[in-house]
Amino acid sequence: MNDNIPQTIAIIMDGNGRWAKQRGLPRTAGHKQGADTIRTVALAANELGVKKLILYAFSTENWKRPEGEVGYLCKLPGLFFNKYIRELMEKNIRVTFAGELERFPSDTQKVINRAVNDTSHNTGLELCLAINYGSRREILLGIQKYADEVKNGRKNDLTEEDFSQYLFVPEDIDLMIRTSGEVRISNFLLWQLAYSELIFTPVAWPDFNKEELIKCIEEFQHRDRRFGGLTK
């Protein structure tokens, strides 16, 4: 691995359910193990000098799942931060989120907001959890906000850079990883992935770790990013 570390990494953390099923466990056991992987991967990304790590934890489509599983997934961010917030703080990691928290139980919202506030001055990795996140919804909300501003007198002179600022995630993504073998985007960061390098690994999220992250970064470093131009 050289020192060309992707500044922004986004991960679709997929495969918790299949991981559990293979072991004869309930799907929630896969989500529990997956939460521990979040800790491992966040600490690794922080050590490697990644600036922002965005993890897709719950999509706007995941409400379609059975009530019991949705209930567990809604509680999981609270359980995660209660367990790991002290360690994230010690490691200088800053917590943020992307998505509409309102639909989550109020105690989960409280724990997340507390994690965001308590870590807001940290200067290491930004760990951004995408919860109740859907990229089409994100784009729609951005358009509505912009339209309101124009109605209230803002000049109608929107650039691509300006529009990014209306989204939950304003940064372009350098590297997008999806675990567990599915090769699709599932409504994640549609605008921000325009020129990302994409890696689809068969490893299930609960089995993903620092070594797997380093393998992905090494593959990223072998890619020739042209952004529509020609190789230098």
What does 12 interact with, of Mg ion, ligand IPE, none (CB < 5 to 8 A by kind)? ligand IPE
What does 13 interact with, of Mg ion, ligand IPE, none (CB < 5 to 8 A by kind)? ligand IPE
| 138: contact with Mg ion by CB under 5 A | no
Burial grade of 144 (CB within 10 A; 0-12, 13-18, 19 or more): exposed
| 99: contact with ligand IPE by CB under 6 A | no
Backbone angles phi, psi at 128, to 5 degrees: -110, 120
Nearest by Cα to 132 from 114, 108, 116: 108
Q: Which pair of structure tokens corresponds to residue 195?
A: 């020129």
| 14: contact with ligand IPE by CB under 6 A | yes
Residue 231 C-beta: closest distance to ligand IPE, Å: 33
Measure the CA dihedral 39/65/131/206, to 10°. Answer: 20
Catalytic status, residue 46: no
Catalytic status, residue 3: no
Q: Which pair of structure tokens corresponds to residue 173?
A: 């993504």
Provide the mask over 176-195, with x wherever binding to ligand IPE is found by CB under 6 A and - wherever it is not: ----x-x-x-x---------
What sign does the dihedral 106-112-114-116 (CA atoms) show? negative
Which one, 6 or 34, has the nearer CB to ligand IPE?
A: 34
User: What stretches of 55-133 show up as alpha helix (H) in DSSP?
Assistant: 67-90, 106-118
| CA distances for 217 relative to 52, 122, 168, angstroms | 14, 24, 25
Provide the mask over 27-56, with x wherever binding to ligand IPE is found by CB under 6 A and - wherever it is not: -----------------------------x
| 17: contact with ligand IPE by CB under 6 A | yes
What does 104 interact with, of Mg ion, ligand IPE, none (CB < 5 to 8 A by kind)? none
Q: Which pair of structure tokens corresponds to residue 67?
A: 């009530």
**Residues 10 to 49 in contact with Mg ion, rule: CB under 5 A:** 14
Burial grade of 140 (CB within 10 A; 0-12, 13-18, 19 or more): exposed
Q: Which residues bind Mg ion (CB under 5 A)?
A: 14
Q: Which residues bind ligand IPE (CB under 6 A)?
A: 12-18, 56-59, 62, 73, 180, 182, 184, 186
